[in-house]
Amino acid sequence: MTTAATAATHAERTAKDFTVHYGADPDGLWAAPGRVNLIGEHTDYNDGFVLPVALPHAAVAAVRRRDDGVLRLHSAQGDGAVVTLDVAGLTPGGVQGWAAYPAGVVWALREAGHPVGGADVHIDSDVPTGAGLSSSAALECVVAVACNDLWQLGLGAAQLAVLAQRAENAFVGVPCGVMDQMASTCCAAGGALFLDTRDLSQRQVPLDLAGAGLRLLVLDTRVKHDLADGAYAERRAGCERAAELLGVRALRDVPQSLLPQALERLEQLGADAELRALVRHVVTEDARVEQVVALLDGGDLRAVGPVLTAGHASLRDDFRVSCVETDLAVAAAVEAGALGARMTGGGFGGSVVALVADDGTERVAAAVADAFAAAGYGAPRAFTAVPGDGARRLA
Ligand code: GLA
């Protein structure tokens, strides 16, 4: 199993590389984590509930202010080139590749009237990319917290998350919800973030995995199917259409007790079976988040497992964002003794999160690897995730 680089080594390397690239010391160092979502998938753009956990994996940025309006961006994971931009000339769609995420945050901050200027930025991230673990949000949020400190903007974690989401929506052009950015800025070690995405009210729910003899095992299938982006936008549009047909602001406003009536009404209005299934997923998924929160509050961590597996079935059968690789990983994990497992993130590949007993971790990871080998798929990557801290200044 792989582990995240120790935070200290990661930070030291990022500061040193900054100096090598820019010939001066940075003003500071910041970190923003990726996330694994425990439950509450495709609910955030329906004003619903989510329950993510911050990963130990993070984007670390070394940043130095400049006073000439020039933004220079360099990534340890990029092609080696420094991307040089003029902050006053930043325009949505005008920056391609990874640099669009940090540049988009500077654009969103300036658009919102914050006096952010030029900077030299070096980013080194160990959040796996394309794995449904929010590597993009980590890139955005690390730049957001750095700018907040360097220009003394006084913005709170949720405000930074919303601006980072705006960067992704309007500058990069990805119609994501707010979960990933909120997870990256607001999570705290030892807990999961119970977030109401309508008003951003939140609570840290204790997640004492070690105390319960359990672990969160993340299985990255290393698969990312091409249809992911288009399908995400399509699902989102479907949910919005269903809400409109039902006359509610968002699907979050359909209580689970009224789901049968809502589905019947949609049928009368001519909505097809696929659209009705989207509604069924969102409504039952919001209920599953509340169920998991209640179980965690009650200290019954083991009982969370089957709720995760039920969530996967709903994403597979009703929301249809799963794929053969994540279905196989979930089935193999549960078969090998995981208490529960589900795909996590947007879907069409990416990762599976499994709740496993301490002594079953290696067995479950090996069973998934064996199942992948037998099916002719590439080897998955497995690691355990201890809930970490949200975005912060390191030095
Ligand atoms: C992606 C998006 C999130 C959320 C999830 C699905 O990660 O960025 O906003 O919609 O998919 O739950």
For residue 323, CA distances in Å to 342, 343, 348 come to 12, 9, 5
CB hemisphere CA count around 162 (13 angstroms)? 11
Instruction: Report the C-alpha gap between 35 and 55 in whole angstroms.
Output: 5
Q: Average pLDDT, stretch 366-372? A: 98
Q: What is the pTM of this model?
A: 0.97
Give the model's pLDDT for residue 229: 82
pLDDT digits (tens, 9 = 90+) for 136-194: 999 999 999 999 999 999 999 999 999 999 999 999 999 999 999 999 999 999 999 99
Determine contact, residues 178/193, Cβ cutoff 8 Å.
no
Strands 119-125 and 70-75: parallel
pLDDT digits (tens, 9 = 90+) for 93-106: 999 999 999 999 99
User: Which residues are tagged catalytic?
Assistant: 180
Ligand 1 contact via 350 beta carbon (within 6 Å): no
Give the model's pLDDT for residue 5: 66
Greatest Cα pair distance in the chain: 67
Q: Ligand 1, residues 42, 101, 240: which to mutate, most atoms within 8 A of Cβ?
A: 42
Q: How far is the CA of 133 from the centre of ligand 1 (A)?
A: 10
pLDDT digits (tens, 9 = 90+) for 295-325: 999 999 999 999 999 999 999 999 999 999 9
Q: Which of 67, 77, 71, 84 shows the shortest CA–CA distance to 98?
A: 77
Q: How far is the CA of 315 from the centre of ligand 1 (A)?
A: 13
Ligand 1 contact via 235 beta carbon (within 6 Å): no
Res. 4: pLDDT tops 90: no
pLDDT digits (tens, 9 = 90+) for 259-268: 999 999 999 9
Residue with structure tokens 């279905």? Answer: 327
pLDDT digits (tens, 9 = 90+) for 9-42: 999 999 999 999 999 999 999 999 999 999 999 9
**Who wins on pLDDT, 176 or 4?**
176
Res. 2: pLDDT tops 60: no
Determine contact, residues 325/349, Cβ cutoff 8 Å.
yes
Average pLDDT, the chain: 97
The ligand 1 atom nearest the CA atom of 177? 9
Determine contact, residues 266/235, Cβ cutoff 8 Å.
no
Instruction: Report the C-alpha gap between 74 and 92 in whole angstroms.
Output: 20
**H-state helical runs in the chain:** 7-22, 100-111, 135-150, 157-166, 179-186, 228-246, 259-268, 273-297, 304-317, 324-335, 361-375
Ligand 1 contact via 34 beta carbon (within 6 Å): no
302 exposure class (CB count in 10 Å sphere: 0-12, 13-18, 19+): middle
